[in-house]
Amino acid sequence: MKTLTVKELAGYFDHTLLKAFVTDEDFKKLCDDADKYGFKMVAINSAPVALCKEYLKDSPVHVGAAISFPLGQTTIETKVFETENAIANGADEIDYVINIVELKNKNYDYIKREMEAIVAVCRENGVLSKVIFENCYLTKDEIVKTAEIAREVKPDFIKTSTGFGTGGATVEDVRLMKSVVGDTVKVKAAGGIRDLETCLAMIEAGAERIGSSSSIEITEAYAKTL
């Protein structure tokens, strides 16, 4: 892996605030910090999208909406509507959670139709799409199968986790996902990435985006190493 500049590392981060118990002031700080450090995106639930878009109106930082978060247990139609609504409110990127129940049922056609529907809305609107697998609940075969569907549908990213499951990103899972999609789809690692060592290991394994609420601490730790 080539040595990154601090700015290049910062550009990997989706700076995350997905808790239910935050205030507008917390969102303001999230956006201010993302702009200050040069993070790629703020990752938020879909309700505060318009607010964060207003805070970031003069910034290159993207606003990303989490769809059907964190369980993925809404219908395709509901996910499509939430995606369209978030985009109408200013979302530049969409991270949606797959229907894990249907994956467990081996209903791969459903997973593909869901992915196609949401990716199509994103493409039509020039918005990036990310598909959250929630790997902690999946077998290796299920991860591979979902990645194979993604290789066909071509969202912009496939993503390891919500950060709200029983486990987060692992280097092994990032490598596995990347081995299936190759250069066709990018991989985002998220969930439990709280220190520099873990972050760099994810990038080394093939992650091209990092979801973290510890982006500032990791970036500052990296700056100290240079």
SS (HEC) of 170-226: CHHHHHHHHHHHCCCCEEEEECCCCCHHHHHHHHHHCEEEEEECCHHHHHHHHHHHC
The CA distance from 217 to 187, in Å, is 22
Decide: 15 and 213 in contact? Cβ < 8 Å. yes
23: pLDDT strictly greater than 80: yes
pLDDT value of position 60: 98
For a pLDDT cut of 70, what percent of the chain falls above it? 100
Active-site residue among 14, 40, 79, 95? 95
CA–chain centroid gap for 3, Å, is 24
Burial of 149: CB neighbours in 10 Å, binned 0-12, 13-18, 19+: buried
Cut 0.95: pTM above it: yes
pLDDT value of position 97: 98
- The CATH number of the domain holding residue 200 is 3.20.20.70
Mean pLDDT of 194-209: 98
36 noted as active-site residue: no
> What region does 120 belong to: left with phi over 0, alpha with psi -120 to 50, or beta?
alpha
pLDDT value of position 2: 79
> pLDDT tens for residues 27-84?
999 999 999 999 999 999 999 999 999 999 999 999 999 999 999 999 999 999 999 9
Q: Encode burial over 100-112: b for 16+ CB neighbours within 10 A, e otherwise.
A: bebbeeeeeebbb
Active-site residue among 40, 79, 159, 178? 159
Query: What six digits make up the tokens of 177?
Result: 């996902």
Mean pLDDT of 74-95: 98
19 noted as active-site residue: no
What's the pLDDT band for 131 if we cut at 50, 70, 90? very high
Q: How far is CA 141 from CA 103, 104, 208, 221, in A?
A: 11, 11, 23, 36
Mean pLDDT of 128-139: 98
pLDDT value of position 36: 98
| Residues in Cβ contact with 73 at an 8 Å cutoff, skipping those fewer than 6 apart | 99, 100, 101
Query: What six digits make up the tokens of 93?
Result: 């990127």
- pLDDT, the chain, mean: 98
1: pLDDT strictly greater than 80: no
| Residues in Cβ contact with 47 at an 8 Å cutoff, skipping those fewer than 6 apart | none
Whether residue 72 is contained in a domain is answered as yes
Is the preceding omega at residue 70 within 30 degrees of 0, hence cis?
yes
**Parent domain of 157:** 6-224
Mean pLDDT of 188-201: 98
Please report which helix (H) or strand (E) contains residue 88, including its range. Answer: helix 76-88
Whether residue 10 is contained in a domain is answered as yes
pLDDT value of position 132: 98
Query: What six digits make up the tokens of 146?
Result: 């979902």
Whether residue 1 is contained in a domain is answered as no
What's the pLDDT band for 105 if we cut at 50, 70, 90? very high
pLDDT value of position 22: 96
pLDDT value of position 15: 98
> In total, how many domains does the chain have?
1
> pLDDT tens for residues 173-193?
999 999 999 999 999 999 999
186 noted as active-site residue: no
Whether residue 193 is contained in a domain is answered as yes
